[in-house]
Amino acid sequence: MIIVLKTEPDPAEVARMEQDLERRGLSLHAIKGQNTQVIGLVGDTASVDEEALQMYSCVDKVLKVQEPYKLAGRRFHPHDSIVDVAGRKVGGGHFAVIAGPCSVESEEQVLSIANDVKLSGAQFLRGGAFKPRTSPYAFQGLGLDGLELLKIAREKTGLPIVTEIMGQEFVEIFERDVDIIQVGARNMQNFLLLREVGKTGRPILLKRGLSNTIEELLMAAEYVLSSGKSRVILCERGIRTFETATRNTLDLSAVPVLQKKSHLPVIVDPSHGTGHWDLVFPMALAATAAGADGLIIEVHNRPEQALCDGAQSVTPALFDKLMKKLGRLRNVLNEEAQEEVSV
Ligand code: PEP
Ligand code: MN
């Protein structure tokens, strides 16, 4: 962190600031130019509040030289991290597809979809048991009964399960029963929940908040990682913009941006990202071409009767077509990557 002082700062104020910073264990390195004076701060600056530094009357501006996300960032972890769930890998060149209904509705529904997506090549089964609905009158999910149905589907298909946690009260149950714990867009900044799920050791699928920046997403990942046990998969799922033609605006540039800034795997959700089943196919391909490490896709055997998000759910038949096309696209991308390496 670098502090740029005002021209002709009050020496007493500079001394007061320097003492305050040294008392916090930081070492200071001053550089005096002809017109400008700067102070470099060395040490653990993560807890230094730039806004608060501006309160010293001698400070002109404060510049950060390091990202505030040390665990999620690439600077200290140059290699891609790979999340491995019983041999199914995401990240570092491993591509995974998570598919299933928005919400678990019945045993017949979840088993039928789980079988279909497995046959098409999905590596994980998704399904909401606890649903974060805008209206309290909308279907809220089957709760723990839904989780039991997901466990039956896992038992029958062998697909690991991905499901959303809504509150801290269920952390223990999720730690025991769920293979990848999803923290949804609406809870991306539920900091107490992030800390708690980070202690489970289960991989956390962290979805970008509706109106959150990439830096805020990485800081949310930092919360999970700072608890020391869990790994994180980041998910771009669309953000709020002025556009109303789609449910959200799928920010595909977030994929390479996140991959540049972070070593964590990045997957894309074209279902919530667009809100329309017929846009899922092209945006899934686009996300893959942009370098995503995987996809999460809503699939329903009867989208018109779905209790949640039917309009953005693809049928098992369309999902199967998509998986075949994704396979071909990935082959082309891998060939291109090989050629780049050999040039
Ligand atoms: C979901 O995956 O079903 C969901 C609610 O997603 P999001 O948190 O991205 O809205
Ligand atoms: Mn949904």
- Which pLDDT tens digit goes with each residue over 2-22? 999 999 999 999 999 999 999
In this predicted structure, the answer to whether residue 211 has a pLDDT above a threshold of 80 is yes
Measured in angstroms, how far is the CA atom of residue 51 from the centroid of ligand 2?
38
Measured in angstroms, how far is the CA atom of residue 184 from the centroid of ligand 1?
5
**Ligand 1 mutation pick, 103, 134, 182, 234, max ligand atoms within 8 A of CB:** 182
Q: Which residues contact 7 (CB under 8 A, 6 or more apart)?
A: 35, 36
Q: Residue 164's beta-bridge partner residues?
A: 182
What does DSSP say about strands 204-207 and 232-236: parallel, antiparallel, or unpaired? parallel
Q: Which residues contact 61 (CB under 8 A, 6 or more apart)?
A: 3, 4, 54
At 166, is the secondary structure helix, strand, or coil?
coil
As a whole number of angstroms, the distance between CA 40 and CA 31 comes to 8
pLDDT at 208: 98
In this predicted structure, the answer to whether residue 341 has a pLDDT above a threshold of 80 is no
Residue 81 DSSP one-character state? P
Q: With a 6 A CB cut-off, is 102 part of the ligand 1 pocket?
A: yes
Nearest C-alpha to atom 6 of ligand 1 is from which residue?
184
What are the b/e assignments for 310-330, b being 16+ CB within 10 Å? bebbbbbebbbebbeebeeee
Q: With a 6 A CB cut-off, is 208 part of the ligand 1 pocket?
A: no
Nearest C-alpha to atom 4 of ligand 1 is from which residue?
184
**Ligand 1 mutation pick, 164, 210, 249, max ligand atoms within 8 A of CB:** 164
Q: Which of 163, 169, 211 is nearest to 186 (CA)?
A: 211
pLDDT at 34: 85
Q: Which residue has the tokens 């540049």?
A: 260
Measured in angstroms, how far is the CA atom of residue 35 from the centroid of ligand 1?
53
pLDDT confidence band for 338 (50 / 70 / 90): confident
Q: With a 6 A CB cut-off, is 207 part of the ligand 1 pocket?
A: yes
In this predicted structure, the answer to whether residue 47 has a pLDDT above a threshold of 90 is no
42 C-beta neighbours (distance < 10 Å), count:
10
In this predicted structure, the answer to whether residue 245 has a pLDDT above a threshold of 80 is yes
Percent of the chain predicted with pLDDT > 70: 100
Looking at the chain, the number of H-run helices and the number of E-run strands are 11, 14
